[in-house]
């Protein structure tokens, strides 16, 4: 019996220590207690000596107090007690764990560890969370002696080594389970149910992208069900040429072959032995393709689990898909690893990492041991992702960055165009990317991706290759790249103009510019196209990209203006205003105050200010823009007339109706002469003048102008155009004021129904149409 403990438990309490109590219980059952105090100094490293001593014993007993003990020289983040527990777990030893209670007897030094107390508390929590353990809490040495004796007596005789009993051969090399493992409950239940069936071999492939937890899920299954297997063998399968060697080692462990036996002779004997066993589990980890393991499946009654990124295992195994954590699973995982985090911090970090288990694990390590605050972590994730994701794991564990770098390097050798496609997606948003966005304008892409994207068959092959490697999620017409590999790819290709190879920020911008939908203002038919591309549009115009796209400022201004217009016309006024302000500022910086394009963006900004209710600011900007437009473009230029129209709207909102009317009359006259009676801008001026007439209580004149404008808009723009709806609402109000309640109600009801059908229930114009109908109904009720 290997007794693992820290040194103070051998001498405290003074009237009879906890370790002495364990030894009495072991000796009572005629077994031999062993701990590291019995071994003198050796030439081998202390860590290896610990592992060897644990391996030589039959049962592992841990007494866990409140002191952490000495850190391992080669692994300073692990104590020797933790190392012994890890060795017993990996070797599949029966593990009996006894925790000292907070109210245990003993002097103060038994409970204090000023240097490593937090580490020991974390170790104690992990022991309590380990579902494969039975943990007993004790207060006194006498209570511990009784508990140890009972636990040893309950073990099978073959495990305790009782005289006359033959030991069962048990072979186990499954890695230690991940402490604090959480989530995956449904998948583990499904896997357990399938592997519990009697009959022929049941093979399950757990597919999924890198870092999603395929291996840790397989490990967790093995540990949860360790009592079901006499043989549990882990086979690293990423290199198919090495699989036979790993199976040959199993043959040696089972006593089937000598260590120096030829691999070719050992493998058939191993598969034959496994075929006849019903308590054997093989786990092939990280198999690249079914061909890598198909010839090594033993058949018979042995159980097999395969982890792989490859999605198609038809004819070999049933695939259990593994996705990233759900938000609640992500939160539980982070709280178990870093309990100091607040709910808001847990949510922010989970979202930033896309709920990817390996990234969450690494973040928790940095946040608990690395001295980083959550705010610092999130900031570094934005600015130094590759450096950040290389840190946080203990020695011997592959970092998130290193794991993905291997996948990228492999792809660079096999399919450079595929790596370019991933890199392009990394510079878009972490949202589904329409395939047409890439293929419709392949001329802006670098080679070899440009040639691949221009050929439907080649592009299909490239996409299938990425899907088979679980590097992207493929839907009917979209691709999705997880935000963690995207961040790593951006960090590796963050190249400004003049830098090496490709400026991916500029390429992404040009691609969105070429694919931008038609002008969105009052054009509902194109709104779904804008909405689909909006996440990617916002990504390529992000302010931090500006230094990378200085050679494409005109394209940037065009996209920013289009985004602002779409947001404004669909009722997202605050976001529209922010983008309009940035567009205007950049236009001034690039072109100056008096450039024609600057004046256009000034007009747009004034309109966004008006929509957002900032009428005084809109008026000031409109007055300045109108002065500049008249001087630069002339009184009758269409853009000058747009400035005059916008200023009149601001005056109306500020209650200066007479000034607004004069300006609207002048603007309408000029637009009729310059643009014609039926031009949409002319009809806008006519509608605005009708509002002025209503404000002046000239209701009949307002009605006549609104009726004429509605007729023209239906003919020019169509019955379902938003401007047509606005004329209909205005006319309904005129009819109401003139006492024609039936006609007003009929028109208001039809307009509301049309707005709901075309714009949706929540659009501002629909809401206003509802208010108009309510006003009409109230007036009709009062009039009756």
Q: How many angstroms separate the CA atoms of 605 and 620, rounded? A: 11
pLDDT tens digits, one per residue of 571-621:
888 899 999 999 999 999 999 999 999 999 999 999 999 999 999 999 999
Q: What is the pLDDT of residue 734?
A: 93
Asked if residues 426 and 481 have their Cβ atoms less than 8 Å apart, the reply is yes
Q: 384 forms bridges with which residues in the sheet?
A: none
CATH of 185-321, one of 3.40.50.300, 3.40.50.360, 1.10.150.120, 3.30.70.360: 3.40.50.300
The conformation of residue 178, written as its DSSP 8-state character, comes to P
Q: What is the pLDDT of residue 715?
A: 95
Cis peptide leading into residue 354 (ω within 30°): no
Q: What is the pLDDT of residue 207?
A: 63
Q: What is the pLDDT of residue 390?
A: 67
**What residues contact 415, with CB distance under 8 A and at least 6 apart?**
462, 465
Q: What is the pLDDT of residue 178?
A: 66
Angle at 381 between CA 375 and CA 382, to 5 degrees: 95
Q: What is the pLDDT of residue 459?
A: 93
Specify the 3-state DSSP secondary structure of 612.
coil
Does 527-714 carry CATH code 3.40.50.1980? no
| Strands 303-308, 280-285: pairing kind | parallel
pLDDT tens digits, one per residue of 44-60:
678 888 888 888 888 99
Angle at 306 between CA 301 and CA 310, to 5 degrees: 140
Asked if residues 571 and 561 have their Cβ atoms less than 8 Å apart, the reply is no
End-to-end CA distance of the chain: 98
The Cβ-side half-sphere exposure at 504, using a 13 Å CA radius, reads 20
CATH of 2-163, one of 1.20.1730.10, 3.40.50.450, 3.30.1640.10, 3.30.70.20: 3.40.50.450
Domain ranges of the chain: 2-163, 185-321, 327-388, 400-515, 527-714
Residues of the chain with pLDDT under 70: 30, 36-44, 108-111, 129-134, 156-169, 178-180, 182-183, 197-210, 369-371, 386-387, 390-403, 406, 493-501, 783-784
Indicate if 185-321 has the same CATH topology as 2-163.
Answer: yes
Q: How many angstroms separate the CA atoms of 382 and 403, rounded? A: 19
Asked if residues 426 and 482 have their Cβ atoms less than 8 Å apart, the reply is no
Q: How many angstroms separate the CA atoms of 565 and 584, rounded? A: 13
List the strands of the sheet with 60-64, edge to edge: 2-4, 60-64, 95-100, 135-138
| Strands 231-236, 171-172: pairing kind | parallel
**What residues contact 67, with CB distance under 8 A and at least 6 apart?**
6, 8, 110, 112, 113, 116, 120
């Amino acid at each position: 019996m290997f007794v693992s403990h820290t040194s103070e438990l051998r001498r405290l309490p003074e009237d009879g220590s906890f370790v002495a109590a364990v030894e009495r219980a072991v000796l009572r059952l005629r077994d031999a207690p062993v701990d590291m105090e019995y071994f003198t100094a050796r030439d081998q490293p202390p860590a290896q000596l610990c592992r060897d001593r644990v391996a030589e014993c039959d049962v592992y007993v841990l007494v866990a107090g409140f002191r952490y003990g000495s850190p391992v020289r080669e692994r300073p983040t692990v104590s020797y007690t933790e190392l012994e527990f890890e060795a017993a777990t990996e070797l599949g030893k029966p593990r009996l764990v006894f925790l000292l209670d907070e109210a245990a007897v003993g002097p103060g030094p038994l409970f204090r560890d000023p240097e490593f107390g937090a580490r020991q508390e974390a170790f104690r929590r992990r022991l309590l969370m380990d579902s494969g353990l039975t943990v007993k809490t004790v207060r006194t040495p006498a209570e511990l002696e009784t508990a140890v004796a009972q636990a040893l007596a309950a073990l099978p005789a073959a495990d305790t080594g009782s005289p006359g009993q033959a030991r069962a051969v048990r072979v186990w090399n499954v890695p230690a389970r991940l402490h604090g493992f959480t989530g995956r409950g449904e998948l583990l239940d499904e896997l357990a149910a399938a592997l519990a069936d009697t009959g022929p071999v049941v093979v399950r492939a757990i597919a999924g992208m890198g870092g999603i937890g395929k291996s840790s899920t397989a490990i967790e299954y093995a540990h949860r069900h360790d009592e079901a297997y006499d043989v549990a063998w882990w086979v690293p399968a990423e290199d198919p040429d090495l699989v036979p060697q790993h199976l040959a080692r199993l043959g040696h462990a089972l006593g089937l072959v000598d260590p120096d036996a030829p691999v070719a002779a050992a493998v058939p004997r191993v598969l034959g032995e496994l075929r006849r066993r019903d308590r054997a589990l093989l786990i092939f980890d990280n198999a690249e393709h079914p061909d890598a393991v198909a010839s090594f499946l033993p058949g018979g009654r042995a159980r097999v689990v395969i982890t792989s990124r490859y999605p198609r295992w038809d004819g070999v195994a049933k695939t259990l898909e593994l996705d990233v954590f759900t938000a609640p699973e992500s939160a539980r995982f982070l709280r178990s690893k870093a309990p100091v985090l607040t709910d808001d911090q847990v949510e922010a970090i989970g979202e930033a990492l896309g709920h990817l288990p390996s990234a969450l694990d690494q973040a928790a390590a940095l946040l608990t041991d690395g001295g980083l605050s959550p705010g610092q972590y999130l900031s570094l994730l934005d600015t130094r992702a590759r450096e950040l994701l290389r840190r946080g794991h203990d020695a011997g564990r592959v970092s998130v960055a290193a794991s993905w770098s291997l996948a990228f390097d492999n792809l660079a050798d096999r399919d450079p165009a595929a790596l370019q496609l991933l890199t392009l997606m990394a510079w878009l948003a972490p949202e589904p990317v329409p395939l047409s966005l890439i293929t419709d304008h392949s001329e802006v892409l670098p080679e070899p991706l440009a040639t691949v994207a221009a050929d439907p068959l080649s592009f299909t092959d490239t996409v299938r290759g990425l899907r088979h490697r679980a590097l992207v999620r493929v839907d009917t017409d979209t691709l999705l790249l997880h935000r963690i590999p995207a961040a790593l790819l951006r960090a590796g290709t963050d190249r400004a103009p003049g830098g090496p190879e490709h400026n991916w920020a500029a390429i992404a911008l040009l691609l969105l510019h070429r694919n931008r939908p038609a002008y969105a203002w009052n054009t509902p038919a194109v709104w779904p196209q804008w909405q689909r591309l909006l996440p990617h549009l916002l990504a390529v115009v992000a302010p931090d990209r500006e230094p990378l796209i200085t050679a494409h400022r005109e394209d940037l201004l065009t996209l920013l203006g289009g985004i602002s217009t779409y947001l404004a016309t669909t009722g997202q006024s605050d976001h529209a205003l922010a983008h309009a302000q940035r567009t205007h500022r950049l236009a001034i910086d690039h072109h100056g105050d008096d450039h024609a394009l600057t004046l256009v963006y000034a007009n747009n900004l004034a309109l966004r200010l008006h929509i957002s209710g900032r009428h005084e600011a809109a008026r000031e900007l409109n007055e300045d823009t109108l002065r500049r437009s008249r001087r630069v473009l002339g009184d009758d230029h269409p853009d000058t007339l747009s400035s005059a129209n916008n200023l009149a709207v601001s005056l109306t909102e500020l209650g200066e109706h007479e000034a607004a009317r004069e300006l609207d009359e002048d603007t309408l006259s000029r637009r009729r002469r310059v643009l014609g009676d039926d031009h949409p801008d002319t009809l806008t001026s006519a509608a605005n003048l009708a509002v002025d007439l209503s404000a002046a209580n000239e209701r009949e004149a307002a009605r006549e102008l609104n009726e004429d404008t509605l007729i023209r808009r239906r003919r020019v723009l169509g019955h379902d155009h938003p401007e047509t709806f606005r004329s209909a609402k205005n006319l309904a109000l005129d009819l109401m004021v003139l006492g024609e309640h039936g006609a007003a109600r009929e028109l208001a009801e039809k307009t509301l129904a049309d707005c709901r059908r075309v714009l949706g229930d929540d659009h501002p114009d629909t809401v206003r149409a509802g208010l108009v109908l309510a006003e009409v109904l109230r007036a009709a009720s009062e009039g009756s």
